[in-house]
Amino acid sequence: WLRTSYPQFRYDQLMHLMWKNLLPLTLALTIWQISLPISTIMIPP
């Protein structure tokens, strides 16, 4: 019953999910993590 309770994706659905949703989210979060320390250094205390 464990296998049927999780959604089963085909390969093309997983690729679509990766390229359209997860990759832009990952890139946005990576840029955020890189830019946050840089922007906080420039703010005077």
Range of the domain at 2: 1-40
pLDDT score of 1: 60
pLDDT score of 2: 63
Residue 45 located in a structural domain:
no
Question: Tens digit of pLDDT for each residue in 1-45?
Answer: 666 777 788 899 889 989 999 999 999 999 999 999 888 888 777
Q: Are 9 and 17 in contact (CB under 8 A)?
A: yes
Instruction: Identify the CA nearest to 18 among candidates 6, 8, 27.
Output: 27
Residue 22 located in a structural domain:
yes
pLDDT score of 42: 81
Is residue 17 classed as helix, strand or coil in its secondary structure?
Answer: helix
pLDDT score of 8: 81
pLDDT score of 29: 97
Residue 15 located in a structural domain:
yes
Number of domain units in the chain: 1
